Structure 1
Amino acid sequence: MRKIYLFILGFVLASCTASQAPVATTPASGASVASATKDIAGFTSGMEKYEGFFPFYWDSKKGKVYLEVNKLNFEFLYISSLPAGIGSNDIGLDRGQLGGEKVVKFVRSGPKILMIQPNYDYRAISNDALERKSVEQAFAQSAIWGFDVLAEEDWSALVDFTDFLLRDSHGVSQRLSRAKQGNYSLDKSRSMIYTEMTKNFPENSEFEATITFTGTPAGAWIRSVVPSPEAVTVRMHHSMVQLPDSRFKTRAFDPRSGYYGTTYMDYATPIDEPITKRTINRHRLEKVDPNAAVSEAVEPIIYYLDPGTPEPIRSALLEGAAWWNQAFEAAGYKDAFQVKMLPEDADPMDVRYNLIQWIHRSTRGWSYGASVADPRTGEIIKGHVSLGSLRARQDFLIAEGLLSPYEDGKPVSDEMMKMVLARIRQLSAHEVGHTLGIVHSYASSVNNRASVMDYPHPYVKMDENGNIDLSEAYAVGIGELDKQIIKYGYSDFPDGTDEAAALDKIIKETFSKGLMHITDQDSRPVGGAHPYSHLWDNGTDAADELNRMMAVRRKILDDFSEKTIRPDAPMALIEEALAPMYLFHRYQVDATSKVVGGLNYNYAIKGDGQFTTKYLEPAMQMKAFDALLATMTPEALALPEKLIQQIPPRPYGYPRTRETFEARTGVAFDPLSAAETAADLTLSYLIHPERATRLVEHHARNAAQPDFSALLNKLTASTWKKAHPAGYHGEIMRTVDKLVMYHLMNLSINTGASDQARAITYLQLKDLKSWIDAKVKSESDSDQKAHLTMASAQLGLFFEKPEVVKEYYKETKAPDGSPIGMDEGMACGF
């Protein structure tokens, strides 16, 4: 889930909001706003009027929208979005994608009106108007757009709103350029107002435009999804929304709580207190009776599902999203979280509706949970979930590979569809969680799947008969950690409660349950250090789970055959199902690598009783190291000969894709490149500059910690210096040998590693060359002798000219992996 998350900066304390919120201003009775050639009624004669938040007029003859600015110096929320996108996960411009939200206001001087965005990142929460003004004047505001007054009457002014709507408000041209898909610019001659979705309501005005960009396409992504790639046409939506009232109660941000934070600087803060203020982002939710243990909500949180979602996906999404009501019940609410189908007459982009949307792309990709929130307070106004439709198909492909279900004369198992729907339920709950203000929680796999905010890899086991069992592939229901997180963010405490103490009690209750919260920054990087927080992993012990998973993987590969593909499918398509099975262990490798040179730690707060950092036991690290070495043996990497022979070159109409292995064998399937890809993944995690540096540092501070030099000795002993058999297994070992050498070369010149880590690596390469030079003299096997001779030459040249390693080593790109069960990324994605 490269989840897009909207980080919303700034908020106003609830007690101060009312005193600071600007109000609409009008001239004194009888005063003229400014001279104009016509009154509004005369100017708009014959146009269609839309009454609502900001009245506007549609001139169908000229194709123009005229806005009636009847509220000056009145702050409201402006949001842009993309209701009709491009359909490429790589470009990242999807249907339903939200843009940034802004607090803005209209300001007038003579015949000119500006849309101004105040700067809420810097404020003075004070009753002193001069103190507030001093901060306001210290930091720049932004004039979003300028308008000329065309007509007026009473206290309203009419402006031409068309150019504001027919612009690249979503940054499409910049996104295409950054993605190297070509240089495009807006073509107004091919753009127009989209009246079908241009509407007005009492508290919001909605506008939509069809926007076309023209240019010269430069990339394959744009060519693959646009019928005429020199002209890219999308739709952009603009919402002008009344801001919430001042009764919203902010809640203190705590890094242990599991929420996104709103941050701003308050220059009215006493010098002996922190100037940076932080609160969490959340929906407004209050009990009818806050003194009752269980109460209905004053206004429940309701999410609506896109009616374009087909069955059985529709029912799975509804069910998974509704899991969150379990957490709200645990926080003392009755029916406070509800999920319904979107009404037929509702606009999906209308900010009054929290939406779960089903989107389509040309390739699988991330799903997202985004939010529209009040930048002043962090109050979530609209949750907007985007789920990729191809996700279910990729899950089905994985299930096909696991079960090999297509056997002549036998019915096709329904276990595949069961696994798909189980994943969709979990995905729905995950992305809705983001729109409730909740961040990822990647350590949940070690707490019995305690949170839907983790990324789950399917848990596959073997039954007592050695058959693949998917009954526990994905967890069911909301997790224990999720319940604690909702308690922190949404509990409505009885009157007279010390909220700070009550929130601290919830945090400590979470600790007492043994639950752990670690999020993105400590879980994603390949050089990460936390031993328990990873993406797409399982098990309480990473190494034990890797060893178990490798045994399951071996069973899958040994049984793999044409039974994995449908009866009418080309035999070459076996490779599509094979790739995710062959790399089934890739994320558990990532998890296990973090144990080597790892560091256990918490988001500890002074005085909360949590430990801050701990070394990992040396034995735990060595077990992980051994498990990683085992993933690079011929026994792990070899494919059955009968399977290799079943995969022919690609037939006409079925070219290689990003979902298949790269090959150095031309049209033929290349089992050695597959082995190289898998081994390269392990080494890229293991031989990492940050990990190497930690190993050196930890050993220097504590001699019991693993010695980086000893680990490198063990690595070369289990690869280069181990006896190489003849045939296929010997070629796999030689492939791994070269990868080890190239990764060590790269590390020795990587300035991201410490000098000592690089020095130890350099010495290891020198020792390896000496061993190779001695070994090649006595080697009788011609294949092995050639291998050693070339390695000696490459090492010799490397010592003279280190940068040549880039000429030796061309990384084989692995078939796409994340997201698991992909459709799959900022605030989310997965």
Structure 2
Amino acid sequence: MLKRYSLLLSLLLVLVPGLRAQTLAEKTKGFQKTAGFFPFYWDEQGGRILLEIDKLDQEILYVSSLPNGVGSNDMGLDRGQIGQTRIVKFVRSGPKILLLQPNYDYRAVSPNPDERQSVEQAFAQSVIWGFKAEAREGNRVLIDLTPFLLRDSHQLGDKLEELKQGSYKAEESRSAVFLPHTKGFPQNSEFEAIVTLVGKAKGREISSVTPDPSALTVHLHHSFIQLPDAGYRPRAFDPRAGYYANEFLDYATPIDQPLVQRQLMRHRLRKKDPAAASSEAVEPIVYYLDRGAPEPVRAALLEGAAWWNQAFEVAGYRNAFQVKLLPEGADPMDIRYNLIQWVHRSTRGWSYGASIADPRTGEIIKGQVSLGSLRVRQDFLIAEGLLQPYEPGQPVSPAMLQMAVARLRQLAAHEVGHTLGLYHNYAASTQERASVMDYPMPRILLGADGRVDLSQAYATGIGSWDKRAILYGYQDFGPATDEAAALQSIMRQTLTEGHAFMSDADARAPGGAHPAAHLWDDGPNAARELNRLMDVRRTLLDGFSEKALAPGRPLAQLEEVLVPIYLLQRYQVEAAAKQIGGLYYTYALKGDGQTITRLLEPAEQWQAVEALLRTISPQELALSEALLAKIPPRPVNYGRSRETFPARTGLTFDPLAAAETAATTTLEFLLHPERAARLEQYHARHAEQPGLSAVLDKLLAATWRARPETGPAGELQRLVQQLALRQLLTLAATPTASMGVRAMAALKVEELKDQLQKSQKSAKNESQCATALFALRTIGEFEENPEKFQPVPALTMPDGAPIGSDDCGVW
């Protein structure tokens, strides 16, 4: 009887597959198989991807990305954006398969397994997703990957909610696997999905870039990548070298050594002959350009990116850095291709240099550059305003296109530099353009005939700092060389040559102190360059006309060309402000001989004060009557944008609003609370240093105590007076400002109040009387409750950065 039951059970298991575990072959019968790092199967009828896991418990790299973006720079969700890079592994527990992310932020780099395990058990790990095994054969497991692919892996919904654009969630019924970009390669498996997020739009940006803002459809990409072998040698990080750092805590370090370990982020590059002064690379670094980039953009990007080979030649390599056009039909998301892609957006915006790197070592596996296509148009627009080339009956100068293309070359080099591991170097502009990793202001020169010369608008080639940085990061030393000593020798030579490195934290802070760390500036001395630039600007504005507009364009668009010329000084203003209460310093290491800190000379600071005050003088803010007569209200379908001046005059162009935006910027930088605090402290420590009181007196002398102007100049003068008062009151009311700063600002307000009360009685006209009365009322509002005083906000300056350039250099 028992034998009969056993035979019956065996027959049932054969006839009814559901009663026994199916093999992978049975489960995938009729499906389309793709070989690769992970084999997978396409179930056409079910619209599913079944993934064969033959590497249980083996660590791999997982990267999510956004191949098809949203199209708005403001939201920062661009085509090709790389998401988080994670080390993960598939682990099995009964019928469940977990995608587990170990915690590589905390580790013990030790041969002792018990020591490693103690750290692993001390910190949490993360299970990214859970799967149910569809079939099993030995160590091979089949899972349905589809729900994992159709989720919002890029956290788009969270980001849109943070940006106040609406609440969105992925909807499976409107999402599907995108098979054309779902591929297998020997070292990586690539999967892509069309994912639709549904919700209610709340923001202007999301509504402007989607045909139906209630349904946002994008592509999301997933890469499973084989980790690099153990042949890569990490290189120790040095804060003076200009590289990004891969950081982690190593609990196996000796007690007398730092717990935090830092490694350079860089590509793997080795010489075929490390002992040779010059050698080919074992495997060169090759970047591929997006085939969608048109001419002349394509040629400019190829040329600019290839500049980096100049630096690798200095490091002893021959043809080790190459740039090629992406092979036709190649998938840009393939991990094998370092990519330079041409990204379209609805508005101009930043470009990016991002990388996929091994979190264990800092080795860059793939560099990916995203260049905004509208940036080149901004440079062309600036060149139109500078050259005003549209003379009736005359050929149009090629200089505009030449300037725009020159910027593209520099931009390509800049972004590729980030993907080689390099930070920004914002001190380079003070050292005769020593690095493409700075943000470059176009160098505008005036010839003896008063004509604009753009022949030096942007630098050509890799800078001297860049060559030193690549030498430090990529030099391949022979087996007998002491690498640590060789690297220190390279760094000593870099310092001996006078190179300086200052990055984002030092340059981007509005109250920054370093006199050389700026974005979009030029020249060795910020104040002198500001004065030179104001001379150029005045010449340009005095001759500004409709010749800046191409034939057939609405005359109202003269304003678009005017904006970057009128605000030509905007970034140099910030640079000059950093000289006031400034502090020179370096990323010095103990014993390296660098200047650690140095207060700036008082004369240099007062020169900067005078240069800033010049920018708010009525003479510099004025526009000619002839020019104002040529800017009509906007025609239909040519409305105002964030790149035109605001207006308080309704439909008409408002020159006072333009002046308000420019003057406000100067005053905000001059009276920044952090700058004011340094002025107070440095003056207390060294009496010869400018004090806050003296700087405020200079400002009031140039505004409220200046000789009254008449006509349009008088109107501009009274505007700047009110703006100066507003900024002074803001400083006095800022809760984060130091007590000494607030006290001094309050004293100057009281002194000004006394002056206004006297001048109101002796005013020579109604305008002067009204200005004094309004100022007194504003002071009265402040005195009623200083802690809650909120001045009327100033008009917003039109968008500037990126001024036809850049990068934010996202890593």
1:311 matched to 2:295? The reply is: yes
Aligned counterpart for 1:433 among listed residues 398, 403, 417: 417
**Secondary structure of residue in 1 paired with 2:494:** helix
Deviation (angstroms), 1:154: 3.3
Structure 1 SS opposite 2:640: coil
Secondary structure of the residue aligned to 2:508 is coil
- Paired amino acid for 2:800: G
CA distance in 1, matches of 2:386, 2:751: 43
Between stretches 98-107 and 745-754, larger displacement belongs to: 745-754
Query: Which AA in structure 2 matches 1:261?
Result: A
Matches of 1:265 and 1:507 in 2, distance apart? 26
For 2:308 and 2:503, the matched residues in 1 are separated by 20
Residue number in structure 2 paired with 1:623: 607
- With 409-418 and 774-783 compared, the bigger mean Cα shift is at 774-783
Match of 1:742 in 2: 726
Conserved 8 A contact 1:36-1:149: no
Who is 1:142 aligned against? 126
- What is the CA distance between 1:36 and its match in structure 2? 5.7
Aligned residue among 412, 430, 438 for 1:446: 430
Residue type of the alignment partner of 1:459? R
- Structure 2 distance, partners of 1:314, 1:794, is 56
Unaligned runs of 5+ in 2: 1-18
Is the contact made by 2:415 and 2:807 (CA closer than 8 Å) also made in structure 1? no
User: Relative CO higher for 1 or 2, CA cutoff 8 Å, sep ≥ 6?
Assistant: 1
- Which one-letter code corresponds to 1:441 in the other structure? N
Is the contact made by 1:742 and 1:805 (CA closer than 8 Å) also made in structure 2? no
TM-score by length of 2: 0.97
Match of 1:218 in 2: 202
Provide the rounded CA distance (Å) in 1 between the counterparts of 2:809 and 2:563.
28
Pairing of 1:248-397 with structure 2 (within 5 A): 248-397=232-381
Alignment of 1:458-477 (within 5 A): 458-477=442-461
| Correspondence 1:686 to 2:670 | yes
Kept after mapping to 2: 8 A contact 1:364/1:823: no
1:531 maps to what in 2? 515
Partner residue of 2:384? 400
Corresponding position of 1:576: 560
Deviations 1:4-28 (A, max 9, x none): xxxxxxxxxxxxxxxxxxxxxxxxx
Deviations 1:418-474 (A, max 9, x none): 000100000000000000000000000111100000000000010111111101000
Q: Is 1:788 the counterpart of 2:751 in the alignment?
A: no
Q: Retained in 2: the 8 A contact 1:593–1:685?
A: yes
Distance 1:671 1:36, change over 3 A: farther
Which residue in the other structure is 1:15 paired with?
A: none
Quick one: which amino acid aligns to residue 220 of structure 1? R
In the other structure, the counterpart of 2:468 is 484
Aligned to 2:218, the other structure's residue is in SS state: strand
Alpha-carbon shift at residue 801 of structure 1 (Å)? 2.3
Query: How far 1:266 sits from its partner (Å)?
Result: 0.9
Query: Counterpart of 1:818?
Result: 801
The yes-or-no answer on 1:643 pairing with 2:627 is yes
Answer yes or no: is 1:659 the counterpart of 2:650: no
**SS class of match (1:211):** strand
CA distance in 2, matches of 1:212, 1:170: 12
* Partner Cα separation in structure 1 for residue 276 and residue 809 of structure 2: 38
Aligned to 2:188: 204
CA–CA separation in structure 2 for the residues paired with 1:242 and 1:184? 33
Q: Secondary structure at the match of 1:209?
A: strand
Identity of aligned pairs, percent? 58
Cα deviation code 1:636-661 (max 9, x no counterpart): 10001100111011000101000100
What is the rounded CA distance, in whole Å, between the counterparts of 1:240 and 1:78 in structure 2? Answer: 5
What SS does the aligned partner of 1:159 have?
strand
Separation in 2, partners of 1:766, 1:620: 30
Whole-Å separation in 2 of the counterparts to 1:823 and 1:491: 28
Q: Moved runs in structure 1, 4+ residues, more than 6 A?
A: none
**Residue matched to 2:781:** 797
Aligned residues: 794
* Whole-angstrom CA distance in 1 between matches of 2:477 and 2:614: 53
Structure 1 contact 571–647 (Cα < 8 Å) conserved? yes
Cα deviation, residue 138, structure 1: 0.4
The Cα RMSD (Å) is 1.1
Task: Determine the C-alpha separation between the residues in 1 that align with 2:615 and 2:511.
Answer: 19
Q: 1:617 offset after TM fit, Å?
A: 0.1
Q: Is the 8 A contact 1:392 1:823 kept in 2?
A: no
Please name the residue that 2:79 is paired with: 95
Are 2:530 and 1:562 aligned?
no
Deviations 1:480-505 (A, max 9, x none): 00000000000001221111111111
Deviation of 1:508 after TM superposition, in Å, equals 1.1
Query: 2:620 is matched by which residue type in structure 1?
Result: A
Q: How far did residue 155 of structure 1 move?
A: 2.2
- Pairing 1:675–2:659 present: yes
How far 1:780 sits from its partner (Å)?
1.7
SS in 2 for 1:536: coil
> 2:5 matched to which residue of 1?
none
Which moved further from structure 2: 426-435 or 174-183? 174-183
Q: Would you say the 8 A contact 1:690–1:752 is kept in 2? A: no
* Deviations 1:154-179 (CA, angstroms, capped at 9, x unpaired): 32111111001010110111111111
- Check if 1:412 corresponds to 2:367: no
**Residues 190 and 224 of structure 2 are in contact (CA less than 8 Å); yes or no, is this contact kept in structure 1?**
yes
Distance 2:37 2:707 in 1: 79
Partner in structure 1 of residue 220 of structure 2: 236
Alignment correspondent of 2:4: none
Quote the residue 1:11 is aligned against.
Answer: none
Q: 1:345: Cα distance to partner?
A: 2.4
What corresponds to 1:21 in structure 2?
Answer: none
Aligned equivalents of 2:585, 2:793: Cα separation in 1:
36
2:743 alignment partner, SS class: helix
Mapped to 2, the partners of 1:597 and 1:577 lie a distance apart of: 35
- Asked whether the 8 Å contact 1:287–1:298 carries over to 2, the reply is yes
Amino acid at match of 2:804: G
Maintained 8 Å contact 1:373/1:379 = yes
- CA offset at residue 781 of structure 1? 1.4
Show the counterpart of 2:489: 505
Q: What TM-score do the two structures reach when normalised by structure 1?
A: 0.95
CA–CA distance in structure 1, aligned partners of residues 753 and 387 of structure 2: 46
**Distance in structure 2 (CA, Å) of the matches to 1:815 and 1:624:** 24
Please say if residues 67 and 158 of structure 1, whose CA atoms lie closer than 8 Å, have aligned partners that are also in contact.
Answer: yes
Correspondence for 1:14:
none
| Structure 1 residue 38, shift from structure 2 partner | 0.7
Matched, 1:591 2:572: no
2:50 partner amino acid: Y
Contact kept? 2:407, 2:805, Cα under 8 Å: no
Equivalence for 2:57: 73
Q: Aligned pair 1:727/2:714, yes or no?
A: no
**Paired residue secondary structure (1:627):** helix
Equivalent position amino acid for 2:226 in 1: Q
Structure 1 unmatched runs, 5+: 1-34
* 1:189 and 2:173 are equivalent in the alignment: yes
C-alpha distance in structure 2 between counterparts of 1:85 and 1:307, whole Å: 18
Deviations 1:332-354 (CA, angstroms, capped at 9, x unpaired): 00000000000112110111100
The answer (yes or no) to whether the contact 1:558–1:640 under 8 Å persists in 2 is yes
- 1:523 is paired with a residue whose SS is helix
Aligned residue for 1:132? Answer: 116
Contact 1:696/1:708 (CA < 8 Å) preserved in 2? yes
Contact 2:306 2:321 in 1 (8 A): yes
Aligned to 2:48: 64
Shift of 1:825: 2.9
SS at match of 1:223: helix
SS in 1 for 2:130: strand
CA distance in 2, matches of 1:53, 1:481: 40
CA distance in 1, matches of 2:779, 2:240: 49
The aligned counterpart of 2:584 is: 600
Partner of 1:28 in structure 2?
none
1:268 aligned partner, one-letter code:
A
